[in-house]
Amino acid sequence: MSHCLTARSIDHVILERGEVANSWKTERWDSLRLLTPNWMSRLPGYQYEGDDPDGFLTMPETIAFIERYAGAISAPVRTRTRVTSATRLDDGYLVATDNGEWRCRSLVVATGACNVPALPPVAEALPPAIQALTSREYRNPGRLEPGGVLVVGASASGTQIAEEIQHSGRPVTLAVGEHIRSPRVYRGRDIKWWMDAAGVLDDRYDEVDDIGRARNVPSLQLAGSKDRRTVDLNRLTGLGVRLVGRLAGIADGNAQFSGSLRNQCELSDLKMNRLLERIDAWATEHGLDGEVDPPQRFEPTRVDASPPLGIDLRRGEIRTVVWATGFHPDYSWLQAPVLDRKGRIRHDGGIVESPGMYLLGIPFLRRRRSSLIDGAASDARDLADHLARYLDHRTVGSGA
Ligand SMILES: Cc1cc2nc3c(=O)[nH]c(=O)nc-3n(C[C@H](O)[C@H](O)[C@H](O)COP(=O)(O)OP(=O)(O)OC[C@H]3O[C@@H](n4cnc5c(N)ncnc54)[C@H](O)[C@@H]3O)c2cc1C
């Protein structure tokens, strides 16, 4: 957004509570690599230019990429400046920070989608003897107690963490709710290449059937790795991970799992196949069938005939629980009547229901790619255009 505002000669400042690339520096586990290939690390006026476009950046490389970008665009960032409140004024906003106050005519909320781990209410009933941490607190298996681990949540974070912990020798049980399976490589090309080329990532917020639902869809079960392996549930059970259904409750120290594991897996296989069908149709339509491998379909997810419906957490079999159950944004600092009853900002493709306020960087803000680094460019351009028109209109309207 800063690059787009500079390009339109709009004076602005970026307030950051930590440092540049703060979330990548402080909220990710050690072995994580981006799950988007390097060529997808594209920001307005800047992109990955290394010699491994099909590889996946490590966290230090991701941090360096964002830091270089901030330098290249001379982003006017005030680091170590936490916004504590933003209040609507007649002609703009009053922004209070732990480092002074600001007045602005327009406010862009780009505080991220993953500020607060979304723990299910059952988390409170976990016996205190069990070590509990969120995917944001998790760093590596060496920091866990010896013994069994229950990972709750089977999307990108949960499956990657489950695989890594299982490799460390701690037996993993994975509680599986709604998830979306995906191969890493399909017909010889990266799945993200297909999604980009076939326009899947360009699906628009005002054209999908149910945008509320689309914004809550979990992340694809994908991992970035040198061997480009698929990290789906079949891979995990092959490694010895035990699958159970969604964690539905904890009563008297007994973890209770939903009986819907098979259904969830069938649904996930179905959604994956729908995506592959869309890709195949696009490949045929664009004459690619001769150039790429033939269409593939994958073995359905293997599920035990009767997976456990409960585990007594007081028996010592499980020593650690890792919550990989997603995140919420934190807008507690926003003192404007723009939140719905679930605490989400009411907006139309990032244009907030408060004059001059914009939202950036949340899932499916304007396009399916909005949740990715690669989504920032198109969203920021659209919103910067709107913002520039808003400021022009205000200037004319106020006679200034
Ligand atoms: C585990 C994980 C893996 C991911 N992997 C990928 C991937 O492989 N590829 C990809 O494209 N995307 C990935 N993403 C999504 C990625 O995080 C987003 O695309 C990207 O970070 C969005 O950038 P952002 O600047 O909008 O949000 P963030 O990176 O979250 O930045 C928000 C910033 O706002 C600051 N902030 C928050 N509140 C305040 C406040 N009150 N005052 C001042 N500053 C504040 C934070 O410190 C932070 O620096 C991943 C996300 C997670 C959680």
Confidence of residue 396 (pLDDT cuts 50, 70, 90): low
pLDDT tens figures, 332-387: 999 999 999 989 999 999 999 999 999 999 999 999 999 999 999 999 999 999 99
Lowest mean pLDDT among 154-163, 184-193, 391-400: 391-400
Residue 58 has pLDDT above 50, yes or no: yes
CA-closest residue to ligand 1 atom 51: 114
Q: What is the mean pLDDT of residues 38-42?
A: 98
Which are the contacts of 350, defined by CB distance < 8 A and separation ≥ 6? 358, 359, 360, 365, 366, 379, 382, 383
Among 281, 308, 323, identify where a domain stops.
323
114 C-alpha to ligand 1 centroid (Å): 7
pTM: 0.96
Q: What is the mean pLDDT of residues 206-218?
A: 95
Residue 398, Cβ density class (10 Å: 0-12 exposed, 13-18 middle, ≥19 buried): exposed
Q: What is the mean pLDDT of residues 24-29?
A: 97
> Does one domain contain both 375 and 235?
no
| Pair type for strands 100-104 and 131-134 | unpaired
Query: Which atom of ligand 1 is closest in space to residue 360's alpha carbon?
Result: 26
Q: What is the dihedral of CA 91, 95, 96, 102, to 10 degrees?
A: -80
> Does one domain contain both 94 and 124?
no
Q: What is the mean pLDDT of residues 293-300?
A: 98
DSSP 247-316: EEEEETTEEEE-TTHHHHHHHHHHHHHHHHHHHHHHHHHTT-TTTSPPP---PPPP--SS--SEEETTSS
Residue 395 has pLDDT above 80, yes or no: no
> Does one domain contain both 209 and 124?
yes
Question: What pLDDT shows up at residue 400?
Answer: 35
Q: Is 297 in the pocket of ligand 1 (CB under 6 A)?
A: no
> Does one domain contain both 36 and 58?
yes
Q: Is 350 in the pocket of ligand 1 (CB under 6 A)?
A: no
> Does one domain contain both 135 and 272?
yes
Which are the contacts of 390, defined by CB distance < 8 A and separation ≥ 6? 106, 355, 356
Nearest to 338 by CA among 325, 351, 327: 351
Please give the share of the chain, as a percent, with pLDDT higher than 70. Answer: 98
Q: What is the mean pLDDT of residues 322-330?
A: 97
> Does one domain contain both 105 and 234?
no
113 C-alpha to ligand 1 centroid (Å): 7
CA-closest residue to ligand 1 atom 33: 111
Q: Is 387 in the pocket of ligand 1 (CB under 6 A)?
A: no
Residue 218 has pLDDT above 70, yes or no: yes
Q: What is the mean pLDDT of residues 75-89?
A: 98
Domain of 291 in residue numbering reads as 116-323
Residue 55 has pLDDT above 60, yes or no: yes
> Does one domain contain both 244 and 103?
no
Residue 152: count other Cβ atoms within 10 Å of its Cβ.
27
> Does one domain contain both 111 and 122?
no
252 C-alpha to ligand 1 centroid (Å): 37
Question: What pLDDT shows up at residue 394?
Answer: 76
Question: What pLDDT shows up at residue 215?
Answer: 95
> Does one domain contain both 67 and 123?
no
- Could you tell which of 23, 109, 114 is best to mutate to test the pocket of ligand 1, judged by most ligand atoms within 8 Å of the CB? 23
Whole-number average pLDDT of the chain: 96
Residue 59: count other Cβ atoms within 10 Å of its Cβ.
17
> Does one domain contain both 108 and 163?
no
Residue 159 has pLDDT above 50, yes or no: yes
Q: Is 35 in the pocket of ligand 1 (CB under 6 A)?
A: yes
Give the CATH number of the domain where residue 55 resides: 3.50.50.60
Q: Is 21 in the pocket of ligand 1 (CB under 6 A)?
A: no
112 C-alpha to ligand 1 centroid (Å): 5
289 C-alpha to ligand 1 centroid (Å): 37
Residue 262 has pLDDT above 70, yes or no: yes
Among 308, 323, 338, identify where a domain stops.
323
Q: Which residues pair with 242 in a beta bridge?
A: 173
> Does one domain contain both 88 and 183?
no
Among 293, 323, 353, identify where a domain stops.
323
Confidence of residue 399 (pLDDT cuts 50, 70, 90): very low
Residue 397 has pLDDT above 90, yes or no: no
> Does one domain contain both 134 and 105?
no
Query: Which atom of ligand 1 is closest in space to residue 157's alpha carbon?
Result: 1
Q: Is 361 in the pocket of ligand 1 (CB under 6 A)?
A: yes
Query: Which atom of ligand 1 is closest in space to residue 56's alpha carbon?
Result: 8
Q: What is the mean pLDDT of residues 302-326?
A: 96
CA-closest residue to ligand 1 atom 7: 34
Q: For Cα atoms 379, 385, 390, give the angle at the middle one, nearest 5 degrees.
A: 125
- Could you tell which of 17, 61, 134, 367 is best to mutate to test the pocket of ligand 1, judged by most ligand atoms within 8 Å of the CB? 17
Provide the token pair at 105: 């005519």
Q: How many domains does the chain have?
A: 2
277 C-alpha to ligand 1 centroid (Å): 31
pLDDT tens figures, 102-155: 999 999 999 999 999 999 999 999 999 999 999 999 999 999 999 999 999 999
